Structure 1
Amino acid sequence: MIADDILVPVDGSDASTAAFDHALEIGADAGATLHVLHVADTALPSLAGLGTDVADALEREGDEIVADARDRAEERGIDVVTDVRRGEPREEIVDAAADADLVVMGAHGCHGIGEYVLGTTTDYVINVTETPVLSVRAADGVTRSYPYEAILVPTDGSDHGTAAVRVAAQVAAHTGATLHLLYVIDELPEVEEPVSDETTTELEENAEAILEAAASTATEAGLDEASITTTVSSGSVPHEIRTHADAEAVDLIAMGTHGHTGLDRHLIGSFTEQLLRSAPVPVLTVQRNGE
């Protein structure tokens, strides 16, 4: 995935600033145009009946935010387009994302996602848009380095996971990164009976076959075989992803998303929010149709 047009929603918060900083690095490297968007949230119920003065003030604030972003991009010699809109942020972001190759959004960690890019909004954007979404946290201890040197892709062999492998491989080929493919044999706590050796062998063989296919997908996407590693682990999926991310010092995690229904089947629900809010590196989510 070589992005020509990158959408960056901004609100002036630390999180969106971190996302914009990261987008600057990507944009400068890719020769991309940055599309900086601020949405004056005039859909807030608290604004009802207050007239146009408040909405006008919100729009003026947005003008200042995007003007600062434009100046910073132009200082780097990056093409930039700014846009200030009124409306519901999640809908406006999705609308703008339709014309972008990549969306870069700020995530606020354990306290939520952006001042207007709140948890439900970022979930909505990730699940609705077919454009890959890169979530970037501003918290201390988060690695936001670029170009990427190590990319982790947890996959289960689904179409959505395959799409993430393909996009991540393209990114790895462009940046010279190593691609780490991970399959986690989920040890479900509700299963009381021990798994037989025969079943364990079948699970491991299935995992190896899935990773072999994923590696083939990566090479077909242009990544050298020497830049690909595969690992099968077992345990809690969230724990194994974090453990592997730390062990390999990855600076990007990429995952497939079903769209409208959440992330890949092992990564649905609360873990989705948890990872986006606590990941030590940016997280790239990819839909099958957005590959």
Structure 2
Amino acid sequence: MYDHILFPTDGSEPADSALDYALQIAAEHEATVHVLNVVDTSQVSRSGMQGDVSAALEQEGTEIVNETAQRARERGISVVSEVIHGDPYEAIVEYSTQSAVELIVMPTHGRRGLQRFLLGSVTERVINTADIPVIAVNPGTQPHTYPCQDLLVPTDGSRGSELALSEGVALANATDATLHILHVVETGSLGPDARSLVKDEELTTRADEIIADAIETAAAATVDTVESEIEFGIPSKEIRSYIDTHEIDFAILGTHGTTDFSRYMMGGVSSKIVRTSPVPVMWVREPDPSGG
């Protein structure tokens, strides 16, 4: 399913914790791992000592990719390693395009602060601009195992969630995982009376249609085991609750083709989920019609 996987690394503990998951994916799919370190040119410019700093950072990057590549080779995984210069997120996306990789695996945050999560980070920017799926791994959670057993795709009927479902169907078939399809009718901002009315009216009808369409898609692809559910409430909370209750170990969410991180499917649900997700989250981006 994946022949080439990109693993950008800055040598930090978060990156190190995500590496094992990336190597598990590579081993399962017999993929080549591309280990990449980016020398941040903006950091070099700010230093005022461009030559010395650039050389030092490149040397550091070489040591990081060599060590990471060695860990991959010890597990029998084919490796390509490279150190390049540029803006980190732009360089990562450009490399993914030029090297024809099919998947990027990254931690939700890097060495610039363990408390600085996805929002505003390199990972966020990669998710917002890469044309291929990106898996974000939260280093603050327990170790994860791939292939997954229970795979969740929340859907709201948008194009982004349709793309996520397509990826989820393919992954479920490739790994024999149970595919969980969830739609959340957002009623968190409504009062209890309005909430009860909503359940009997158009939103419930629409929810049934969304779930039915998703199940039909999975059935057409002959996914072995599919579970579906409709919940009412605040989407981010219901998705997280479903992950915990059903022991989900992987989730796939669709994003809109925009560089505005506040605009994700279901009104920003994805950005809330990824910061605290106890499981790895794959992001599948809806391409920007303008080509951005």
Output the CA distance in 2 between the equivalents of 1:221 and 1:96: 32
* Map of 1:170 onto structure 2: 170
* Map of 1:100 onto structure 2: 101
Output the CA distance in 1 between the equivalents of 2:136 and 2:94: 18
Output the CA distance in 2 between the equivalents of 1:118 and 1:55: 27
Structure 1 residues 203, 273: CA separation in 2 closer, same or farther (over 3 Å shift)? Answer: closer
Q: CA deviation at 1:191?
A: 6.2
* Map of 2:254 onto structure 1: 256
Structure 1 segment 111-122 matched on structure 2, within 5 A? 111-113=115-117, 119-122=120-123
Whichever residue aligns with residue 71 of structure 1, its letter is Q
Output the CA distance in 1 between the equivalents of 2:89 and 2:31: 23
CA contact (8 A) 1:255 1:264 kept: no
SS at match of 1:100: coil
* Map of 2:218 onto structure 1: 218
Structure 1 segment 5-84 matched on structure 2, within 5 A? 5-44=4-43, 47-84=46-83
Structure 1 segment 271-282 matched on structure 2, within 5 A? 271-282=269-280
* Map of 2:236 onto structure 1: 238
CA contact (8 A) 1:108 1:277 kept: no
Output the CA distance in 2 between the equivalents of 1:42 and 1:273: 28
Whichever residue aligns with residue 183 of structure 2, its letter is Y
Q: CA deviation at 1:34?
A: 0.5
Which TM-score applies when normalising by structure 1? 0.89
CA contact (8 A) 1:112 1:277 kept: no
Aligned residues: 281
Output the CA distance in 2 between the equivalents of 1:241 and 1:81: 37
* Map of 1:129 onto structure 2: 130
Output the CA distance in 1 between the equivalents of 2:59 and 2:198: 66
Q: CA deviation at 1:218?
A: 2.2
* Map of 2:282 onto structure 1: 284
For residues 97-137 of structure 1, what are the alpha-carbon distances to aligned partners after superposition, in whole Å with 9 as ceiling and x for unaligned? 22210000012497124xxx873322211111111000011
Moved more, 37-46 or 173-182: 37-46
CA contact (8 A) 1:143 1:251 kept: no
SS at match of 2:49: coil
Output the CA distance in 1 between the equivalents of 2:137 and 2:9: 12
Q: CA deviation at 1:274?
A: 3.3
Q: CA deviation at 1:72?
A: 1.1
Identity over aligned pairs, percent: 37
Whichever residue aligns with residue 101 of structure 1, its letter is E
Whichever residue aligns with residue 257 of structure 2, its letter is G
Structure 1 residues 136, 37: CA separation in 2 closer, same or farther (over 3 Å shift)? Answer: same
Structure 1 residues 199, 242: CA separation in 2 closer, same or farther (over 3 Å shift)? Answer: closer
Q: CA deviation at 1:264?
A: 3.9
Which TM-score applies when normalising by structure 2? 0.89
CA contact (8 A) 2:38 2:91 kept: yes
Q: CA deviation at 1:222?
A: 4.4
For residues 161-209 of structure 1, what are the alpha-carbon distances to aligned partners after superposition, in whole Å with 9 as ceiling and x for unaligned? 0110110111111111111100000014266972463763332221111
SS at match of 2:36: strand
CA contact (8 A) 2:236 2:270 kept: no
Structure 1 residues 132, 158: CA separation in 2 closer, same or farther (over 3 Å shift)? Answer: same
SS at match of 1:212: helix
Q: CA deviation at 1:276?
A: 1.9
SS at match of 2:257: coil
Output the CA distance in 2 between the equivalents of 1:90 and 1:287: 15
Q: Tell whether 2:181 aligns with 1:181.
A: yes
Whichever residue aligns with residue 254 of structure 1, its letter is I
Output the CA distance in 2 between the equivalents of 1:186 and 1:91: 35
CA contact (8 A) 1:142 1:279 kept: no
Q: CA deviation at 1:286?
A: 0.4
SS at match of 1:43: helix
